[in-house]
Amino acid sequence: MDTSVKNVIVEKAKTSKIDQVDFNNLSFGSIVTDHMMVCDYKDGAWETPKVVPYQPITLDPSSKIFHYGQSVFEGMKAYKDTDNNVWLFRPLENQKRLNISSKRLAIPEIPEAYFMEGLKALLKVDQQWIPQTEGSSLYIRPFVFATGKGFHASPANEYKFIIACAPSGPYFSGKVKVLIEEKYSRSANGGVGFAKAGGNYAGQFYPTQLAVAKGYNQVIWTDDNSHEYIEEAGAMNIFIRINDTLITSPTSDRILDGITRKSLIELAKDEGINVEVRKITVKEVVEASKNGTLMEMFGAGTAAVISPISAFGFQEKDYELPELDKSYAALLKKRITDIQYNRAEDKFGWRYKL
């Protein structure tokens, strides 16, 4: 199969809505740009990607996305530096992970050229939408879903790959208070927890609502079997600092291989921070809080980058995290965002210039 892309088809919008946007007061992911990239899978092959005006899509009620949940997505960002250069952060990692997710849900994998050339064509058309306000960026959402029709429980024969973008401010403002989950599970061994499947997130909403009703912002997920081990923080990977050691759970069938996560591990090691990738129990975290050695907890992901945790709840009791003048969270967030916004040297080769 020819996996190269000769020409991405571009159909520009007749008018732009960019003048209606206050770029100094951006919420996260609620305003979309003028265009989107669309690529259809039919007759056993991906068709030529197209950049078209952002618009609704029409689907048959029997489209399999509605019935069997074949849907995966990615989250990434575009940044603009002070010289108006546009940068991506490790985009090929997103492309690879999208295919890992797709394979697990029996969705046809997308060739690298289709992903990258379609994305670049979209960003070229909508590059004026990339904000330069401090802390803001253009959030990019690639996603694939089943459009093939029929009620038979089987993989679809047709799919749609879309990339849509939203100029966005910070995902969270301030620190978050979390509840360690003791009943519900985000994922299980042999399941799809490692994939960015839409259903993974749908299954999180109800337990999170229960936690919010108790005064928490998010849930800390524990393992599906014993609920003894810390796994993820809401929709993010989690880091825990005990004394001067930074600990994060190893990836598995249940835990997403976060691009921000593995970047932070490299940056922490580069800073001389002792990093341990290992299982960590709830008991160990509670004991560390009680004896004063628990210094920090924070979530890590594309949307929030790093989200410091101010307190966690467990078995009807809250445990406060100390306020630090020089936290690992602040240090690592500055390191990674300085690379992303082209404010510092990129010794790792993570930046991708458009």
247 vs 229: CA distance, rounded Å: 13
Output DSSP code: residue 281. B
Using the predicted structure, report yes or no on whether residue 173 has a pLDDT greater than 90: no
- DSSP letters, 176-242, are EEEEE-SS--S--TTSSTTS-BHHHHHHHHHHHHHHHHTT-SEEEEE-TTTS-BEEEETTEEEEEEE
CA angle 335, 337, 343 (to 5 degrees): 85
Question: pLDDT (tens digit, 9 = 90+) per residue, 47-67?
Answer: 999 999 999 999 999 999 999
Confidence of residue 71 (pLDDT cuts 50, 70, 90): very high
Using the predicted structure, report yes or no on whether residue 1 has a pLDDT greater than 50: no
Q: What is the mean pLDDT of residues 84-110?
A: 97
298 vs 264: CA distance, rounded Å: 12
List CB contacts of 46: < 8 A, sequence separation 6 or more. 39, 40, 108, 110, 111, 114, 161
Q: What is the mean pLDDT of residues 116-126?
A: 97
> Strands 274-277, 294-301: parallel, antiparallel or unpaired by DSSP?
unpaired
List CB contacts of 101: < 8 A, sequence separation 6 or more. 72, 73, 74, 107, 195, 196, 197
Residue found under tokens 């199969």:
1
Residues in the chain: 354
225 vs 227: CA distance, rounded Å: 6
Confidence of residue 6 (pLDDT cuts 50, 70, 90): low
Query: What average pLDDT does the chain have?
Result: 94
CA angle 310, 315, 320 (to 5 degrees): 20
Q: Which domains does the chain have, with CATH numbers?
A: 9-168 (3.30.470.10), 176-340 (3.20.10.10)
Percent of the chain with pLDDT over 70: 98
Percent of the chain with pLDDT over 90: 90
266: nearest Cα among 194, 338, 335, 343: 335
Q: What is the mean pLDDT of residues 85-100?
A: 97
